[in-house]
Amino acid sequence: MAKAAPQQEDTSKYTSGQFQTIIDQCEGCGRIVTAGADKFCRTYAVPAAKWRQGLCNFATHAKPEIVAAAAKINPLKASKRAAAKKKK
């Protein structure tokens, strides 16, 4: 089996200029790599672009809010169902 590459080589691709540093919304994510004094996203080269449309889909620290809309109930059908349950 191949051995894992040393950590020094792994961080060199982040400091070469291909990857941009993370933004404030990325703080706390599990995909952050520290190279020198800067922090980079391991998954995406331009983290600001992922947050531009809303929540980053790679974020491990933030989950999307799911809003469940209350279903509209037809009062006529509801009364018929209630009457049917009372008969049984």
pLDDT in tens, 53-73: 888 888 888 877 777 777 888
Query: Does 9 score more than 80 pLDDT?
Result: no
- Residues 59, 27: Cα–Cα separation, whole Å: 10
Q: What is the pLDDT of residues 23-62, one digit of tens each?
A: 898 888 888 888 888 888 888 888 888 888 888 888 888 8
The vertex-38 CA angle with 37 and 43, nearest 5°, equals 145
Residue in 24, 53, 64 with CA at minimum distance from that of residue 41: 24
Query: Could you tell me the pTM of the whole model?
Result: 0.57
Residue 87 has pLDDT above 60, yes or no: yes
